[in-house]
Amino acid sequence: MRLQGQRTNDDLNALGVKQAEKLATKLTNENFDVIFTSPLVRAVHTANIVAEAIKAPIVESKDILERDFGIFSGKTWEEMKVISDSDTDFRTKDFAQEYDYRLYEGESMEDVKTRLIKFIDMLKKDYADKKVLIIAHGGILKLAHLLFNEKVLDKTPDNASIHEFDV
């Protein structure tokens, strides 16, 4: 229940490996041209497991890194309140896509949105005729749902879950 963000670069644990293997099994009969992944170790490990099953090349992109929680990286929502000495409900703001961690050496939603839109623009330009799989993070997925489905998610997406977007 700790916020990993982009500063916490841990590998998958045993459960994460099983989740990635289950995802790979689900995608075995899909014909993706390329897999884009965040360069964080946990995402790259997932991408490698999936790539083995679907035989697609992997490209890393910093534009789909998880949010930077700054000094809150590795902390719980409750610890964030103590560290900030604030009554701010960080979790509610985060889920509403109204977060701004710049005061805490991190990123705002607008910072992450800029990265994600840059990435999507690149896909539209360079991969318009390709079937693309993206291995990213919960924060990126939540923002993508807001931008492309006009929907605010009320919970973090499950690990190794599949989400489709028309962009």
pTM of the model: 0.94
Contacts of 128 by beta carbon, 8 Å cutoff, 6+ apart: none
Q: What is the pLDDT of residue 43?
A: 98
- Decide if pLDDT at 155 tops 90: no
* Structural tokens at position 21: 């293997």
- Decide if pLDDT at 156 tops 90: no
Go through the domains of the chain in sequence order and give each one's CATH number: 14-149 (3.40.50.1240)
* Structural tokens at position 154: 């009320």
Classify burial at 82, counting beta carbons within 10 Å of its beta carbon; exposed 0-12, middle 13-18, buried 19 or more: exposed
- Average pLDDT over all residues of the chain: 95
When pLDDT is cut at 50, 70 and 90, the band that residue 1 belongs to is confident
Answer for the pair 102, 68: CB distance below 8 angstroms, yes or no.
no
Q: Look at residues 79, 57, 59, 61 and name the one whose alpha carbon lies nearest to residue 69.
A: 79
Using one digit for the tens of pLDDT, what is the confidence trace for 71-124? Answer: 999 999 999 999 999 889 999 999 999 999 999 999 999 999 999 999 999 999
When pLDDT is cut at 50, 70 and 90, the band that residue 46 belongs to is very high
Give me the sheet containing 132-135, strands edge to edge. Answer: 58-60, 34-37, 132-135
